[in-house]
Amino acid sequence: MSHLLDRAGIESVVLEQRSREHVESRVRAGVCEQPTVDLLRELGLANRLDKEGLPHSGFSFRFDRADHRIALTELTGSAITVYGQQEIVKDLIAAGGDIRFDVSGVAVHDIETDRPRITFDGGELECDVIAGCDGFHGVARPAMPAVRAFEHVYPYAWLGLLASAEPSHHELIYASHERGFALHSMRSPEVTRLYLQVDATERIEDWSDSRIWDELHLRLATDDGFALREGPLLEKSITPMRAFVAEPMRHGRLFLAGDAAHIVPPTGAKGMNLAIADVLVLSKALTALLREHRQDLVESYSDTCLRRVWRAEQFSNLMTTMLHRPPGEDEFHQRLRMAQLRYTASSTAAATSIAENYVGLPF
């Protein structure tokens, strides 16, 4: 957001609750849509991404002990790039800007005036506008009156794993198995990112390394000799699965963007990309407001973003429900789910729809 505003000659200050070391090291998303990569290149922020990122022209749905490839580039002309969110954060920070780390006690004030304020421990900022890019648990959304929340909690969670092991496949694998979903991804040629569907009440302490690898071998097994490479597990965490949308995304001079306004289940790889789409729209609106004294893009900001947000929510929900086996699923619904998955993998039209959404709709 700050780099987009700087390009338009608008000064900004970034307040970050955590330390620089923390935000540069925490592992989050890793799939960059084509429009995200294009924007980073346009801003001159993709030098390392182009050197170290892993372009993928497809991914596989794995079921019935076989791979069924979705040929992203062949179907859409676009691709995805695997490049960790923390690496993008490093690149953004290294490119400069007024970033203040370890900031606490943040509160926003006077958002219905043309001079909103931010107070924090040890300081105060008088602003033209405030962009709440502070995540689901931040202070921006609670400061907005009359926000309507839409939420869905899924009856399972993801056990996320980072392994010091060479990836076992050159593309992502989304596996649907009778024991539950599994995902094989990567963060680099030496580090594999893996996920297992687990019950929402599971505790990380109950998942030993040996139990994890046994379960991954079962869910990722094929009849063509696929071999899952093991290695030391560097990180283990359990993430609840939920969807959330706040409407509207703006009140007065306070604007929400990214996870402050919406959460998607990670199956569709949309979270980081949605946030980048938000701030691109917002930067254009704020440029029109502050440089040209135009209100039209500010007024339409929320509606413009929410159209994309709800499309991403629908796609992420489709991917999630098609690939996961919910607790207590009966045979009727299990067969319906597998029919949808088999149709998606065998129909060019259905596969194209999946591919078009996966590589990213145009900004």
Catalytic positions:
56, 174, 266, 270, 358
**In this structure, is the dihedral angle defined by the CA atoms of residues 208, 210, 213 and 217, taken in order, positive or negative?**
negative
Cα separation, 148 vs 247, in Å, equals 5
Q: CA gyration radius for the chain?
A: 21
Name residue 4's amino acid: L
User: Which residue's structure tokens are 């839409």?
Assistant: 150
Cα dihedral 23/24/25/26 (nearest 10): 40
